Amino acid sequence: MSKPDTKSIPSAPNDPPLVQGYEVVIGFETHAQLLTHSKIFSRASTQFGAKPNSQACAVDLALPGALPVMNKRAVECAIRLGLALGSHVAHRSVFARKNYFYPDLPKGYQISQFEIPVVQGGEVSFFMGTTPKSVRLVRAHLEEDAGKSLHEDFVGMSGIDLNRAGTPLLEIVTEPDMRSSQEAVAYAKELHKIVTWIQVCDGNMQEGSFRCDANVSVRKPGAPLGTRREIKNLNSFKFMQQAIDFEVRWQIEQLEDGKAIEQATVLFDPESGETRAMRTKEDAADYRYFPDPDLPPLVIAPQWIDEIRGSMPELPRAMAQRFVSTYGLPEYDATTLTQSQQMASYFEATVAACGQAKLASNWIMGELSRRLNEADLEIDNCPVSAQILAELISTIAKGEISNNSGKIILDALWTDPSTKISALIESKGLKQVNDSGALEKLIDEVLAANADNVAQFKAGKEKAFNALIGQAMKASKGQANPQQLTELLKKKLA
Amino acid sequence: MLTQINSFFEIVEQISAVSTEGVIPLAHPAELLKEVELRLRDDVVSEFDEREAHQLSAPAVENGLFLVPRVVE
Amino acid sequence: MSEIHDLSVAELSSALRSKTLGAVEVASHFLDRIEKDKLGSFLSHNPDVTLQMAKASQERIDTNQARALEGVPIAHKDVFVTKDFPSTAGSKMLEGYRSSFDATVVTKFAQAGCVPLGKLNCDEFAMGSSNENSAYGPVLNPWDLNAVPGGSSGGSAAAVSARLTPAATGTDTGGSIRQPASFCGVTGIKPTYGRASRYGMIAYASSLDQAGPMAKDALDCALLLSAMCGPDLDRDSTSLDAPEEDFTKQLTQSIKGLRIGLPKEFFAEGLDAEVKAALEQAKSVLMGLGAEFVNITLPKTELSIPVYYIIAPAEASSNLSRFDGVRYGHRAKEYSDLMEMYKKSRAEGFGAEVKKRIMTGAYVLSHGYYDAYYLQAQKIRRMIAEDFKLAFRDCDLIMGPVAPSTAWGLGEKTADPLSSYLADIFTLPASLAGLPAMSVPCGMSKSAKRLPIGMQLIGNYVQESKLLNVAHQYQLQTQWHTMSPALSGDLK
């Protein structure tokens, strides 16, 4: 594996947040399971949750005489990822055998890529707050997943299930560019978004579709890189941050105690919140890599890359930029709305139907998302369609109803989306009063009835104003146009 | 066996004297006939559950799982 | 009429088709002979299965649905996995192993109508040149029961020679079809790398292994090769995408004007006088047929020994890692933990030669040695292939010995296996280059015992038809390929 020159990685300029005076250096290796029906080298299914060894054919079991045959879609996924991350997609790459013994590795070697990976270079860009960040990639290569060992039901034994063996993976390796656990998590989230966006991976972390290994080391600023330890198999963003934070504190404690850090592979235990060494990683165990004689080199023609490039969806970052420039949305909104293709589509459909970008953004990010989360629904399965939401937003924009009334109507639509909005406005008496004349009359009545509030306001108490607004809204049964009401009241009290 | 392996290496050492400057290693003999490229197959599932047949010669199996001494992480 | 067992594949096929002979009758005849096998050539056979297949073949013949080789018996080297018979690769590691699928080669023969007789003994995991490395006992040379039959396809060669089967499959990685064919006086051919599918062929050295037929003569080999070759694109990524070929088409062509190259390195000292003489005689016959001989050179011939013995064990060390006692194969009875289970199972399951090659193979791939050994060997391999490319500018095919001598005595080289490595010198170059090559009986040693001598013909890529053409024309003029050991008569 081409290791980055470990001595010459500079400290990030300006802002590495130091922990107890130490700079944190983090690099990630992410294994993303690819969205294919069949395995990378065999025709067995990759579906999760099947009964043990029912999706492990002769090739996956490494039966004598079995041979690998490459899955085209897995290669497509690699090309898509390469294009999405601005990487170089190698015209010719080679599969190599990584030799070691383990019960979940049936052949006694893993087919991977060593000297010449399919994707080279590239970067992942994201925001941390308002600061733009970019993490460079070293490479991404295709390889096969191993099986699973199960321990629970067996005393002194383990049960090996090879259903997962042969599932296609892309191993995505970064330079050690990250300088904090927050940055690392932000990177992981952005990568997660990208691979799901371009449909290369289903991103299901609980099922193990997206697994991160974090290489963590610490050093005094300006010093050479410290010895790193690898935290393996982080499959939740929450645990990712906890694990890295603990590991950093642990390493610093060791160094402060005068102890050296030994290279090791560690696991995070969510129960205790601690990282614990698995086995000491001898400086790169000798895997005796050599090109796999069963697989000729993978050749990717430029035409194929062009074809795929043409069929790629607009990427989240680019789409967010477009939302900012075309719809005039703030960065935050644009980033939130582009968290998934589905949400972005929903948003654009809504805007296309009502022309109210900011309102649509507010409603989708706010009321809609809240309800979806509560009901544990994806936006694809939202009971209220973009068209209906657009209609609702139109009525609010026109001033027919207030925002709050909109929430009440949304509740009703959520349970029965076929109800006509106009009917609901009517039956619930939510029609907003916009007539200044009527409103002025209302205000006069309220001012008359709340003389002490008026006095307090005139004495300088701002809160009294809100109390008057509250009274006026109450008197109008919530139907007064709040903006108009506020304006008129201000005028009257001036 | 050690003597045999040692004399084996006497034979093998011959190759270090050969100049191979600029020669590309030959990994796939077929490339001498024509350009070899990895063939790609369509992503279709066509292997189904044949667990019983595959596990006929398994040394230790329980509930479809291959049993081995405890794997210590 | 000749005895059934003296008939060639071509003759049997014709007799079965014309119903002069019945499929069950033929199969039973060979099964009886196999029962009396004293050569150790068969590792397993199953009369019920064989007779069932024979009956099915007969039905096809009776209903005019006979396929190319309907009813012709065949036996498979035990490195081809079969559903109906155990597959051991000559190793204790796979004692009793039952595969859940058939090798493509096995399927193709079944689809051609061949009736399987059983599985043939071989050197363990195809590693060896004498069939003395089998965990199930050596195979004896039917011409001299104190001599080796050659290896690793010793069982295949011996069985055909002793007329226990009219046809056999073998595999050739460094000479394992050609050399035993030569030692046992039968005809065998290793096609161009990639011609026959390796799916279901227990792997030894992936970039060298090739399946091929062994039978009485070139015509038989041509028929068998036609049935077994063809692209297997769905299952073997190294399978050659060349159309299926009828290798019998060119057999009757005249070889007048054909240029045959004689590499000077193949005729240097170390070649047995009798082998040299037999080749001289063969040369005369071929000249009589109009062939022209050209002197050529293959300068890197000697280097093929270290190059092969680096590359093949390297690939083998990795291919054999799957034998860990977890999912199939031998598992030790007692062990205290996983590591011990691996170590003991492999120590008990593998023989000495296999262990040696795994060790040397792992060594040449290891960090720090990879460049000097494995990579360097791969480079020289290309240079060896280039030698042939140059040579083929001056000739149409190449002729030479298969081995420096005839079959040596059992146990003679077991103390010094290196000497058997050195005897591979003539067969290794074509293996490394991936070229087709065959062994054709061309003489008998006169000293002490009568032992067969074979000549090697090496062709350019995908030129199997030309090789078979020369062999066939030669066999029309000579009798060597018709001889069978006295032993074969004893098996009545």
Domain CATH number, residue A446: 1.10.10.410
Backbone angles phi, psi at C17, to 5 degrees: -60, -40
Instruction: Determine the structural domain holding residue A45 and report its residue range.
Output: 18-305
Mean of all residue pLDDT scores within chain A: 91
Pick the range with the lowest mean pLDDT from A245-254, B51-60, C481-490.
C481-490
Answer yes or no: is C180 within a domain.
Answer: yes
Lowest mean pLDDT segment, chosen from A186-190, A436-440, B13-17, C42-46: A436-440
Residue A462, pLDDT > 90, answer no
| Least confident residue range of A328-337, A450-459, C300-309 | A450-459
pLDDT given for residue A313 in this prediction: 92
CB contact burial C229-244 (16+ within 10 A = b; e otherwise)? bbbbeebbbbbbebee
Shared-domain flag, residues A218 and A321 = no
Beta bridge partners of A211: A31
- Taking only the tens place, the pLDDT of each residue in C294-309 is 999 999 999 999 999 9
Q: Residue C88 belongs to a domain with what CATH number?
A: 3.90.1300.10
ipTM of the complex: 0.96
Contact C213, C169 (CB under 8 A): yes
Would you tell me which residues 333-372 of chain C have a C-beta closer than 8 angstroms to some C-beta of chain B? 335-338, 340-341, 352, 355-356, 359-360, 364, 372
Instruction: Give the pLDDT confidence score for residue C68 in this predicted structure.
Output: 96
CB of A215 closer than 8 Å to CB of A26: yes
**Distance (Å, rounded) from C-alpha A113 to C-alpha A74?**
14
C418 within a domain of the structure (yes/no): yes
B54, A63 contact by CB (below 8 A): yes
Q: Could you say which of A305, A330, A358 is where a domain stops?
A: A305
pLDDT of residue A6: 46
Same-domain pairing of A255 and A319? no
Single out the residue in A376, A401, A427 at which a domain terminates.
Answer: A427
Q: Give the closest residue to A168 by CA, choosing from B40, B71, B52.
A: B40
User: Is A200 in the same domain as A300?
Assistant: yes
Q: Which of A381, A398, A427 is the last residue of a domain?
A: A427
Residue with tokens 């096609």: C191
Instruction: Name the residue with higher pLDDT: C294 or A154.
Output: C294
Q: Is A378 found in the same domain as A446?
A: no
Q: Is residue C267 part of a domain?
A: no
Number of domains chain C contains: 1
The total domain count for chain A is 3
Report the C-alpha gap between C247 and C465 in whole angstroms: 5
Please tell me if residue B3 touches chain C, with a CB cutoff of 8 Å: no
Q: Best of C173, C346, C380, C431 to disrupt the B interface by mutation (most B CBs within 10 Å)? A: C380
Cβ(C436)–Cβ(C189) below 8 Å: yes
Mean pLDDT value of segment A13-39? 91
A9 is a domain residue: no
Is residue A8 one of the residues assigned to a domain? no
Instruction: List chain B residues with CB under 8 Å of C330.
Output: 59
Which residues of C carry out catalysis? 77, 152, 176
Same domain, A416 and A483: no
In a domain, A10, yes or no: no
Asked if A347 and A273 sit in the same domain, the reply is no
B49 with A74: Cβ contact below 8 A: no
Q: Is A65 within 8 Å of C103 when comparing Cβ atoms? A: yes
Give a yes or no: residue C426 inside a domain. yes
Residue C351 located in a structural domain: no
pLDDT band at A1, cuts 50/70/90?
very low
Whether residues A149 and A267 fall in one domain? yes
Q: Which residues of C touch A156 (CB under 8 A)?
A: none
User: A320 and A242 share a domain?
Assistant: no
Judgement on whether residues A27 and A84 belong to the same structural domain of the protein: yes
Q: Is residue A11 part of a domain?
A: no
Same domain, A206 and A186: yes
In a domain, A1, yes or no: no
Q: Are C320 and C125 in contact (CB under 8 A)?
A: yes
Query: Are residues A235 and A354 both part of a single domain?
Result: no
Tell me whether residue C236 is in a domain. Answer: yes
| Residue A88 lies inside a defined structural domain of this protein | yes
Residue A395's SS3 state is helix
Q: What CA–CA distance (Å, rounded) separates C110 from A34?
A: 38
Is 80 exceeded by the pLDDT of residue C488? Answer: no
Which residues make Cβ contacts (< 8 Å) with residue C254, sequence separation at least 6? C289, C290, C473
Query: Percentage of chain C surpassing pLDDT 90?
Result: 95
Going by C-beta distance under 8 Å and a sequence separation of 6 or more, which residues neighbour residue C157? C149, C150, C168, C170, C180, C181, C183, C184, C186, C188, C214
Q: Report if residue C68 sits inside a domain.
A: yes
Residue C58 lies in a domain: yes
- Are residue A332 and residue A365 in the same domain, yes or no? yes
pTM of the predicted structure, to 2 decimals:
0.90
What average pLDDT does the structure give for chain C?
A: 96
- Residues of chain A neighbouring B37 (CB-CB closer than 8 A): 296-299
C136: containing domain: 4-260+393-491
Q: pLDDT tens across A12-23, in order?
A: 555 678 999 999
Tell me the average pLDDT across B48-54.
Answer: 95
Q: What is the spatial distance between Cα B32 and Cα C430, in angstroms, rounded to a whole number?
A: 13
**For residue C1, what pLDDT is reported?**
58
Query: How far is it, in rounded angstroms, from Cα C449 to Cα C408?
Result: 11
pLDDT of res. A94: 96
Structure tokens, C7: 């008939």
